Amino acid sequence: MLLELKDVSVAFSSNLLFRKKKFYALRDINLQLEEGESLTLLGESGSGKTTLGRLIVRLLKPSEGKVLYRGRDIYRLGREYTKEVSMVFQDPRGSLNPRYTVWEAAEEPLIVHKFPKNLRRGRVENALLSAGVERNLWFRRTSELSGGQRQRVAIARALVLNPSLIVADEPTSALDLSIAYGILKLFEKLREEKSILFITHDVRMGLRVGDRIALLLRGRLLEFSPSEEFAKNPLHPYGKYLLDNLPAKSPFERGKKIPYEGGGDIFSGEGCPFIGTCPYGERRCQKFPPAVEIEGRMVYCWLYVD
Ligand SMILES: Nc1ncnc2c1ncn2[C@@H]1O[C@H](COP(=O)(O)OP(=O)(O)OP(=O)(O)O)[C@@H](O)[C@H]1O
Ligand SMILES: [Mg+2]
């Protein structure tokens, strides 16, 4: 097992006129990532995807629960963990120093980790080539690059220490459609060599990159299934809803999607977050259901209890 989340919760307290209210960005999350496997975190805005990514690269501590890397608590691992797991952010502008050249940007993690100088050159070249950064750009400043080129440099940086896992947080959503497609193809190639934790709100992209899908809504894991099975037969009504309402491929067909109502006032923060839209909603959905295992898949829905 490469990575495991055990009963992980992240709580923030919001100060509502002196009344402290606890708010969960993630609640009781259990996920496993096998060695070499890729996983998609699928969820709409605010579902807790970035929070989960930040948790895995130790930018954020869980309020409860544990994250284990190869069986060991990530907070008991030293700097070697930083070499094993790297992150690619949504907006490459923020993650690259504009004064650096492409080469310097890609080399920096090696310098930080005190890599011997004679080994650096080969590593940087490999990383830039794997990320598809064209040679004629290698000595340009990152500020001179287009968004797509910059994202490739950010990916080269994430690859240069040869990590086992790359966490990619919506790596294409700041890019034009055609450029985004190139980055998607790159991740489809990278998943052959590494484990990817691919964060997206786009069902089609998620199905292409992840071997398994973890479906999140408002901080709750609702389903954890192999991508193919999820695409054919989602177990959770929210998964079915997403697949039934995929955005049209042609821009001329857009605008048909039925918006998700977000649970509205019915969602108290305690029960199933899909309750407001779910056609199967019933009284007991006010309480969050226990995990149910069905043929190696996990689902959190009262439909499958008893
Ligand atoms: N530092 C923080 N303090 C308080 N609330 C936070 C903090 N970080 C995130 N949140 C809240 O936690 C929830 C989940 O946020 P998160 O950024 O993880 O969602 P997301 O799925 O990445 O959304 P998006 O698709 O918009 O990026 C949101 O309601 C957000 O407002
Ligand atoms: Mg996010």
What number does the ligand 1 atom closest to the CA of 14 have?
Answer: 4
Read off the pLDDT of residues 236-271 as tens digits, 9 standing for 90 and up: 999 999 999 887 765 555 455 555 555 444 455 789
Q: What is the rounded CA–CA span in Å between residue 234 and residue 256?
A: 21
Task: Say whether pLDDT at 22 is over 50.
Answer: yes
The domains located in the chain, with CATH, are 3-232 (3.40.50.300), 233-306 (no CATH)
Mutate which of 42, 44, 49, 167 for ligand 1 pocket (most atoms within 8 A of beta carbon): 49
For residues 152-164, give the mean pLDDT: 95
Q: What is the rounded CA–CA span in Å between residue 297 and residue 301?
A: 12
Q: What is the rounded CA–CA span in Å between residue 214 and residue 30?
A: 10
Read off the pLDDT of residues 87-118 as tens digits, 9 standing for 90 and up: 999 887 777 888 999 999 999 999 999 999 99
Q: Which residue has the higher pLDDT, 151 or 247?
A: 151
| Sequence-ordered list of residues with C-beta below 8 angstroms from that of 165, at least 6 positions apart, any chain | 2, 3, 33, 56, 84, 85, 86, 194, 195, 196, 197
Does ligand 1 have an atom closer than 6 angstroms to the CB of 48? yes
- H/E run at residue 190: helix 177-190
Task: Say whether pLDDT at 42 is over 80.
Answer: yes
Biggest CA–CA distance in the chain, Å, is 66
Ligand 1 centroid, distance to 52 Cα (angstroms)? 10
Report yes or no: 237 and 64 within 8 Å, Cβ to Cβ: no
Does ligand 1 have an atom closer than 6 angstroms to the CB of 123? no
Give residue 40's pLDDT: 97
